[in-house]
Structure 1
Amino acid sequence: METIRLIIAVASWKGWKMFQSYVKSAFFNGELEEVYVDQPPGFEVKGKEGYVYKLRKALYDLKQAPRA
């Protein structure tokens, strides 16, 4: 928070324009190339326990998320 306050203070002092953007969902909008995950515990489909899911969108914990 201190860094954000410092940036805002400097921008105000210098008369810079500031813009707000919402980046919390940034990784959910990225496209992925062939990423598969195991079924999460408690959400297994009966009779298909060995199956995996192919992801269509990036998730925060993926190594590929920042590139997507």
Structure 2
Amino acid sequence: MEAIRIFLAYAAHKSFTVFQMDVKTSFLHGSLKEDVYACQPEGFIDADHPSHIYKPDKALYGLKQAP
């Protein structure tokens, strides 16, 4: 936290423009580099299709490929 304050003080001293952005949801828009498949978790198994697996279209939180 102190490093951020020092950086902002330096930027203000030098009249730099500082930008802010939100990266909490960046993984929602990330593309997958490889195909990933997921099994149905216990308690959420589709009764009509118990053996189906799923292929996500976008990156999911916790994947190694997620940004």
TM-score past 0.5 threshold: yes
Compute the RMSD of aligned alpha carbons: 1.8
Q: Please identify the structure whose Cα radius of gyration is greater.
A: 2
Structure-2 separation of matches of 1:3 and 1:60: 28
Q: Give the structure-2-normalised TM-score.
A: 0.75
Structure-1 separation of matches of 2:51 and 2:4: 46
Structure-2 separation of matches of 1:10 and 1:40: 50
Task: Quote the residue 1:50 is aligned against.
Answer: 51
Instruction: Quote the offset at 1:52 in angstroms.
Output: 1.5
Percent identical: 48
Unaligned residue ranges in structure 2 (runs of 5+): none
Task: Quote the residue 1:41 is aligned against.
Answer: 42
One-letter amino acid of the structure 2 residue matched with residue 59 of structure 1? L
Q: Secondary structure at the match of 2:51?
A: coil
Q: Deviations over 1:3-45 (max 9, x none)?
A: 3223222211222101111211111101223111122332211
Unaligned residue ranges in structure 1 (runs of 5+): none
Q: Secondary structure at the match of 2:27?
A: helix
Q: Give the structure-1-normalised TM-score.
A: 0.74
Q: How many residues align?
A: 66
Task: Quote the residue 1:16 is aligned against.
Answer: 16
One-letter amino acid of the structure 2 residue matched with residue 28 of structure 1? L
